[in-house]
């Protein structure tokens, strides 16, 4: 019996496809998310919009709070650790977390190095802005990628940019001669062995999800139509005026992402989405997507 | 020509579709009731059983799936097996109750308990590399249920007439024998 192989880690990411992973900060929210049809929940003390608001150092959440959420729901529970903070990741693994998000939403612990994720039994998801960043994280052992977007803004523009950048990078690789792949790997700053696989298969070797700025059913559909295989919703649900119905609407929008009749149906009657903040108006040092490389 | 659908509410449905296409089968992702009409079989994929259960009744009803599974071949993997079963689940997941077996959700614990293991198949001499992801357990099964694969003396793949259920994920490997077996079931 082989546990924690890369195949088994990526296997869980495969099972989350076509689903919505929702940020929750307590047991009540976790239950609302599960009832609404979330495929998994991300347990954290503050959603990204509040991390922006309160400032300070954003760290791994209190394990007790994560454990309470784990007990309350039957779906997979994820939690975030700081970039490079492998001790936080060890604690999350020890408490039996289903997926670890090495996340730019928390204050980075290491500005040069990410966690060596192959050493862990639990699978990891990491954010990326472009193909090079995605392949570096996969090289370190990430079993799932997601766009960074710009978390906590409710502005989808950065997630769109990141998804398009990754997909454009993949299409470029597919057009290249074998002789060109090494130079492209150098340009991307990506491991050559993974560059070769992507050039051959025309897709990342792990599922690629959307995250960072999803606030409406239409946002979720847009990301799915751009090639996301599932959607993370952070502040978008519990910062809105109607979390339960918005959560359910986004779940349906992901399943029926290419059916405008359903999208119209589920978008009607929702109360106000989160107010949000244009990502463009953020000063550079407040842009979370710039954390990590 | 045999046409097999894959229920496309949530989960690893594209992986199943990929295998069917490799085998030259006409395949469609099923999200609406009307799509069931011309199918000879349906795969209910792995994913989260709560999510699939919660969304049935929107564009595709329980009744549609129930009447389909009474006539045609249905193959449930992991979450799909739970939905086919008739007990052992929890109140968060409704079941079709067509397969006479009690299935316990997520019976091994959290993701770090997920595993792969070679299992013996009753219909082929070569073992099958089976990937178990937060897998369910088949707790009990009726007289009409045939055991096709076991792990530590417990069934992990079962069949009852035209219904097939696996606690693991044949769509995650390149081995197509179980899909071929299901296609033959649908063609009979």
The average confidence (pLDDT) of chain B is 96
pLDDT of A269 strictly over 90: no
**A107 secondary structure, DSSP code:** P
- Whole-angstrom distance, CA of residue A254 vs CA of residue A157: 18
pTM above 0.95, yes or no: yes
> How many helices (H) and strands (E) in chain B?
5, 11
Q: Average pLDDT of A221-239?
A: 95
Mutate to test the interface with B, among A4, A14, A208, A261 (most CBs of B within 10 A): A14
Confidence of residue B105 (pLDDT cuts 50, 70, 90): very high
Provide the ipTM: 0.97
Residues paired with A101 in a beta bridge: A80, A125
Q: Average pLDDT of B150-162?
A: 96
Confidence of residue A285 (pLDDT cuts 50, 70, 90): confident
Contact status of B54 with chain A (Cβ, < 8 Å): yes
- Which residues neighbour B106 within 8 Å (Cβ) at sequence distance 6 or greater? A74, B134, B135, B136
Residue in B64, B44, B55, B61 with CA at minimum distance from that of residue B4: B44
Domain spans in chain B, listed from the N-terminal domain onward: 3-187
Of B31, B92, B114, the CB nearest to A256: B31
Confidence of residue B137 (pLDDT cuts 50, 70, 90): very high
CATH class belonging to B3-187: alpha beta
Chain B residues whose beta carbon lies within 8 Å of the beta carbon of residue A19? 10-11, 47-48, 51
Long-range Cβ pairs for the range A41-44 (8 Å, 24+)? A41/A69, A41/A73, A41/A75, A41/A76, A41/A77, A41/A78, A42/A77, A42/A78, A42/A79, A42/A80, A42/A101, A42/A232, A42/A234, A43/A69, A43/A70, A43/A77, A43/A78, A43/A79, A44/A79, A44/A80, A44/A105
- Whole-angstrom distance, CA of residue B145 vs CA of residue B163: 9
Confidence of residue A273 (pLDDT cuts 50, 70, 90): confident
What is residue A26's three-state secondary structure? coil
Q: Average pLDDT of B140-149?
A: 98
Looking at residue A276, what is its pLDDT? Answer: 87
Chain A residues whose beta carbon lies within 8 Å of the beta carbon of residue B132? 8
Structure confidence by residue, pLDDT tens digits, B59-97: 999 999 999 999 999 999 999 999 999 998 689 999 999
Structure confidence by residue, pLDDT tens digits, A233-266: 988 999 888 999 999 999 999 999 999 999 999 9
Min Cα distance B16 → chain A (Å) is 11
Check residues A286 and A207 and name the one with the higher pLDDT: A207
pLDDT of B173 strictly over 90: yes
Instruction: Yes or no: say if A84 and A109 are a contact pair by the CB < 8 Å rule.
Output: yes
Min Cα distance A183 → chain B (Å) is 32
Structure confidence by residue, pLDDT tens digits, B110-136: 999 999 999 999 999 999 999 999 999
The average confidence (pLDDT) of chain A is 96
The H or E element that residue A40 is part of is: strand A40-43
């Amino acid at each position: 019996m082989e546990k924690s192989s890369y195949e088994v880690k990526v296997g869980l990411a495969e099972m989350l496809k076509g689903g919505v992973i929702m940020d929750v900060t307590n047991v009540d929210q976790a239950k609302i998310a599960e009832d609404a049809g979330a495929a998994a929940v991300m347990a954290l003390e503050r959603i990204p919009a509040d991390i922006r608001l309160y400032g300070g150092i954003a760290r791994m959440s209190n394990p007790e709070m994560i454990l309470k959420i784990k007990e309350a729901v039957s779906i997979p529970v994820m939690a975030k650790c700081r970039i490079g903070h492998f001790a936080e990741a060890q604690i999350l693994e020890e408490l039996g977390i289903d997926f670890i998000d090495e996340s730019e939403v928390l204050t980075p612990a290491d500005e040069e190095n990410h966690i060596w994720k192959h050493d862990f039994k639990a699978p990891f998801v990491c954010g990326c802005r472009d193909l090079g960043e995605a392949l570096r994280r996969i090289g370190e052992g990430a079993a799932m990628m997601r766009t960074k977007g710009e978390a906590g803004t409710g502005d989808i523009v950065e997630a769109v940019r990141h998804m398009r950048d990754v997909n454009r990078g993949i299409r470029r690789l597919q057009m290249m001669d074998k002789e060109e792949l090494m130079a492209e790997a150098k340009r991307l700053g990506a491991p050559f062995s993974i560059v070769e696989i992507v050039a051959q298969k025309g897709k990342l070797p792990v599922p690629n999800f959307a995250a960072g700025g999803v606030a409406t059913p239409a946002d979720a559909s847009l990301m799915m139509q751009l090639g996301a295989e599932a959607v993370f919703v952070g502040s978008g649900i519990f910062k809105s005026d109607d979390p339960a119905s918005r959560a359910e609407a986004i779940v349906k929008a992901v399943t029926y992402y290419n059916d405008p009749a359903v999208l119209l149906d589920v978008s009607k009657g929702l109360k106000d989405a989160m107010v949000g903040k244009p990502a463009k108006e953020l000063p550079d040092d407040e842009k979370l997507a710039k954390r990590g490389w | 020509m045999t046409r097999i659908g894959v229920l496309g509410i949530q989960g690893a449905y594209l992986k199943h579709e990929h295998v069917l296409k490799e085998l030259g089968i006409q395949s469609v992702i099923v999200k609406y009731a009307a799509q069931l009409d011309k199918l000879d079989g349906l795969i209910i994929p792995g994913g989260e059983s709560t999510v699939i259960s919660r969304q049935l009744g929107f564009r595709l009803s329980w009744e549609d799936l129930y009447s389909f599974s009474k006539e045609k071949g249905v193959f449930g993997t992991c979450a799909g097996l739970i939905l086919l079963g008739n007990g052992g689940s929890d109140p968060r997941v409704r079941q079709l109750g067509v397969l006479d077996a009690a299935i316990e959700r997520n019976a091994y614990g959290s993701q770090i308990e997920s595993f792969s293991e070679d299992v013996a198949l009753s219909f082929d001499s070569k073992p099958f590399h089976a990937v178990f992801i937060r897998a369910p357990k088949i707790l009990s099964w009726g007289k009409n249920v045939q055991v096709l694969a076991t792990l530590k003396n417990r069934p992990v793949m079962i069949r009852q007439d035209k219904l097939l259920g696996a606690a693991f994920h044949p769509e995650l490997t390149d081995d197509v024998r179980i899909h071929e077996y299901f296609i033959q079931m649908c063609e009979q």
